[in-house]
Structure 1
Amino acid sequence: MALSLIKADELVQLQGVDNLILIDARFHYPAYVEEHLEGAFHVDLNKDLSQIDEDPANGGRHPLPSPQAFGELIGQLGITPETHVVVYDDKQASMSAARFWWMLKALGHEKIQVLDGGWQAAKKQGFPLESTLPTGQQAASYPASHWQLPISSINEVKTATMLKEKIIIDVRENERYRGVMEPIDKIAGHIPGAVNLPFSENLDDNGLFLPQEILREKYLQTFKGQTSENIIVHCGSGVTACHSLLAICTAGLDIPNLYVGSWSEWSRNNLPIATLL
């Protein structure tokens, strides 16, 4: 299962297939309770996909839980290493389907796909909906010892700002990157030397991911011949950065480093800040 995206019409064809588990990663749980794709289980960004610290200076607003804690959650959802998992949200995968995809993939899971176009596309395609909360077959805790995809710490990002071979990609909106506005974190601006490539540019006008060849050309131009080890991707709190990592994976390229703490951590640690005003 090499493809990280699945189209809504392809998902419809998988209805009733054994060993398929759907994950609803929409941010608002009441919307899930009201209506969700038939059989889908819900995961919560704050409770399930993060281990939030009281002070965002320590890891940002959405630090990762331990791999073991996430493995326990995955087991409670009935997911085993053989399960085919499809995850969706209602924000073109940016909140929080891509984050779930990255986390499960970082446990070494192979059969994990994000629904291209998300909730809206499946609903439009006629996938059955329900308000009943599903009951699943709980499995053993998913085997997890460490994150198997590359992660950069704040100290590694500090060092990267001083090395010309390193590329730091900020996927936030351009106005946030430039320091014109900052709706969430306390200080506006960006990490010195970072280039801006908003995650929204991974999508076409219909909110679907761009074709593989276009994504590949776009990211190869940004990478400038550097390997994934020299590339760090971040956002505000390590969530929408996963959207761009998904796009890079979809392009057939190696997945770069994720700076989970992102701007929410960097901007709270008295570190250099750049603006383009």
Structure 2
Amino acid sequence: MNIIKSRELASMLATDHPVIIDARGGADALERYNQEHLENAQFVDLETELSDKAADPASGGRHPLPQPDDFGKFLGTLGIRPASTVVVYDDKNGANAAARFWWMLKAAGHEKVYVVSGGLQAIKAAGLPVTAAVSDVKPAENYPIENWTLPTVPLEVVKDVSEKPEYLVIDVRENYRYQGEGEPIDLVAGHIPGAINIPYMSNLDEEGVFLPAAALAAKYKLAFGDIDVSRVIVHCGSGVTACHTLLALAEAGLEGASLYVGSWSEWSRNSLPMAKGE
């Protein structure tokens, strides 16, 4: 289990006393957190703490991963230890920074980390206590991380396999961005040749919560066909919302797909072939 509902969170808060992480992105992330967050939740910033923004976007994309040991030091400041139960949510239905934090903690080898389906909206709807107060944190030692343990692929590999029939590259961005009809963030519109489009929002129902595991499994098994999950590569604009689909795959029992961290933000800055339309 990687995804929990708000009612499961209520039970967990009473029994497991988890470390609660409110992960958000955007220039006003801290401001939104300060307005309201789940009681005892600690703020984590996608832009400064879950990414190495000093890197060149042409070499790693807009949200490259930090070094593992730097992330380990950061986890220590949050009081997260290898034995900790960690619950993470965001205010984007788990589609943004929460999924990225989940992936990074899993890639650090952590076992007990859960994303709240529906995010802050579902937490509030369940009547769980929200506040503007910031809780004190008891730091832990640096979390021991030597390498990211979940599979990632660099640009060179994607370039080599994207049009090979034995591989599957999934672009999880909104369909209009995939088709090249518009691009609100990166410099060029379009998609990686050979990639198919399964928007990350299709992992959610009309209420903004994750589909049941069986429904997710059926959807992605149909998309994979005869391709083994180890030959599936998932990307988005900058390696963030791709983690939402990797979370959905894990919940569906289809673990082993690779994350292309640089994603379209890297690909589109390197004079590589680009496609438009379906």
SS of residue in 1 equivalent to 2:103: helix
Distance in 2, Cα, partners of 1:254 & 1:55: 30
Query: What is the CA distance between 1:17 and its match in structure 2?
Result: 3.6
Task: Please name the residue that 2:184 is paired with.
Answer: 183
Task: Please name the residue that 1:245 is paired with.
Answer: 246
1:20 aligned partner, one-letter code: P
Query: What is the CA distance between 1:10 and its match in structure 2?
Result: 1.2
SS of residue in 1 equivalent to 2:87: strand
1:111 aligns with 2:109: no
Distance in 2, Cα, partners of 1:121 & 1:112: 18
Distance in 2, Cα, partners of 1:65 & 1:232: 20
Query: What is the CA distance between 1:30 and its match in structure 2?
Result: 0.8
SS of residue in 2 equivalent to 1:70: helix
Distance in 1, Cα, partners of 2:8 & 2:158: 39
Distance in 2, Cα, partners of 1:238 & 1:54: 14
Task: Please name the residue that 2:24 is paired with.
Answer: 26
Equivalent positions of 1:228-267 (< 5 A) are 228-267=229-268
Query: What is the CA distance between 1:18 and its match in structure 2?
Result: 4.9
| Structure 2 alignment gaps of length 5 or more | none
Query: Quick one: percent identity of the two aligned structures?
Result: 52
1:144 aligns with 2:142: no
Tell me the TM-score normalized by structure 2: 0.96
Q: Which moved more, 1:154-163 or 1:190-199?
A: 154-163
Tell me the TM-score normalized by structure 1: 0.96
Distance in 2, Cα, partners of 1:211 & 1:237: 27
Q: Deviations over 1:68-106 (max 9, x none)?
A: 111111111000011000000011111210000000000
2:69 aligned partner, one-letter code: Q
Higher share of residues assigned helix: 2
CA RMSD in angstroms, aligned pairs only: 1.2
| Structure 1 alignment gaps of length 5 or more | none
Distance in 1, Cα, partners of 2:49 & 2:252: 28
2:186 aligned partner, one-letter code: D
Task: Please name the residue that 2:40 is paired with.
Answer: 39
In the alignment of these two chains, the number of paired residues is: 275
1:81 aligns with 2:79: no
Q: Which moved more, 1:91-100 or 1:127-136?
A: 127-136
SS of residue in 2 equivalent to 1:260: coil
SS of residue in 2 equivalent to 1:57: helix
Task: Please name the residue that 1:205 is paired with.
Answer: 206
Query: What is the CA distance between 1:53 and its match in structure 2?
Result: 3.3
Distance in 2, Cα, partners of 1:121 & 1:165: 39
Task: Please name the residue that 2:103 is paired with.
Answer: 102
2:5 aligned partner, one-letter code: K
1:214 aligns with 2:215: yes
Task: Please name the residue that 1:192 is paired with.
Answer: 193
Task: Please name the residue that 1:160 is paired with.
Answer: 161
User: Contact 2:55 / 2:64 at 8 angstroms: preserved in 1?
Assistant: no
SS of residue in 1 equivalent to 2:230: helix
Q: Deviations over 1:129-157 (max 9, x none)?
A: 22221112111111100000000100010
SS of residue in 2 equivalent to 1:13: helix
User: Contact 1:53 / 1:61 at 8 angstroms: preserved in 2?
Assistant: no
2:12 aligned partner, one-letter code: L
Q: Which moved more, 1:50-59 or 1:245-254?
A: 50-59
Distance in 2, Cα, partners of 1:269 & 1:235: 16
Q: Which moved more, 1:219-228 or 1:116-125?
A: 219-228
